[in-house]
A = this chain, B = another copy of it.
Amino acid sequence: MKPDTIIELNHGAGGSLMDTFLKSLLGIYQTKSIGGGIGVDELDDGATIPLSGNQTLIISSDSHTIDPIFFPGGDLGMLAAVGTINDVVMMGAKPIAITCALLIEEGTIYSTVEKILSSFAQVCEENNVAIIAGDTKVLPKGQVDRMYMSTTGIGLRQSPNIIGDNQIKVGDKIILTGPAGLHGASLIARREGINLQTELESDVAPLVKMLLPIAETGAVHAMKDPTRGGLGSALNEFAEKSGVGLLLEEEHIPIHPEVNGICELLGLDIYSLSSEGKAIMAVEAEKADDILKEICKDPSGQEARIIGEAIDKYHGKVVMRTTIGGHRLLRKSLGEPIPRVC
């Protein structure tokens, strides 16, 4: 990027502008991985550090700056814990510990901080994740918007199989574990003051119990939670990094009618809206049906579907067979339609 480029919101919104920005930033760093593990260059959900005895350590870092800090279906604390825990799970690892650095705006009421951290602690406790370290900074009024949380998740993977965005093989089936875009749509609805007949809520939820046993079988080649940039960005990353084409069946992609309605009303691309409790998975074809059955047993996986497959064509691209029988390219979104969704 040119030195005098002005950083815009879309440079952090999960789309193609962010890709350009991140590539520039990563060019500044020098040593970016350790012991042959996955490093920051891979832009995966986390990094890996090989340990002795076939163990792998997983490290995943995130900042959470969602606005508003209390939203339908969750709050900042819940999102911070879920987001980081899920990133560790997406690498096929059991999350064991988390750290939490808080930025708090001067003038915030203690009970607000207490509520947010209680949510954070509850998610961690329910998923057997210890909160082992942290940092707390209070900033002058106006230099932070109420409260941000930066978290680092630590996980251990015992199995030697590698799960990574670049591990997808031709023939793999693509599973989406539930309806797309609920988190993003619920936040937009809330901010735009759209009054819906049913209460649309964020899908923020940890995926440890649903996905970790499946990931440990070795049949999962890649997993990703479609957060910033939504399904469009996540699927394109799969295709680009693995060098395969992805052919999707649009009619198989689970979408809630309320989310559809909001997208039509506001002219939004549903595939750019984020989820915070869903995963896309590339799995061995012959095991796909069994895996789908397992996922559907989980309360938050009941609407999971096989939405497509990896093919030896359209390499690095995502192509959607539309409901009217045509084909269209699903591009990475330019950015999330609204910032601060995560």
Enumerate chain A interface residues (CB-CB to B < 8 A). Answer: 1-13, 18, 21-22, 24-25, 28-34, 37, 39-40, 46-47, 49, 51-53, 55, 57, 59-63, 65, 67, 96-97, 99-111, 113-114, 117-118, 121, 124-125, 128-140, 142-145, 148, 150, 152, 154, 339-340
**Contact A7/B138 with A46-B133, A52-B52, A150-B101 known, Cβ cut-off 8 Å:** yes
Q: What are 27 residue pairs bridging A and B, where the CB atoms are less than 8 Å apart in the complex?
A: A4-B110, A9-B106, A12-B138, A21-B136, A22-B136, A25-B102, A28-B117, A28-B118, A29-B117, A30-B125, A31-B124, A32-B131, A32-B132, A39-B131, A39-B132, A40-B132, A47-B99, A59-B132, A60-B133, A62-B135, A63-B103, A63-B150, A65-B139, A99-B152, A135-B150, A142-B142, A143-B144
A175 to B176, CA, bound (A): 58
Choose among A10, A11, A57, A138 the residue with the greatest number of B CB atoms under 10 Å from its CB. A138
CB distance from A59 to the nearest CB of B (A): 6
Q: Do A137 and B12 have beta carbons less than 8 Å apart?
A: yes
Q: Do B339 and A138 have beta carbons less than 8 Å apart?
A: yes
Q: Do B34 and A132 have beta carbons less than 8 Å apart?
A: yes
**Contact A340/B134 with A24-B110, A110-B3 known, Cβ cut-off 8 Å:** no
Q: Do B130 and A25 have beta carbons less than 8 Å apart?
A: no
| Chain B residues in 8 Å Cβ range of A139 | 9, 12, 65, 145, 339-340
CB distance from A15 to the nearest CB of B (A): 12
**Contact A99/B61 with A106-B8, A106-B9, A138-B8 known, Cβ cut-off 8 Å:** yes
CB distance from A205 to the nearest CB of B (A): 19
A152 to B150, CA, bound (A): 10
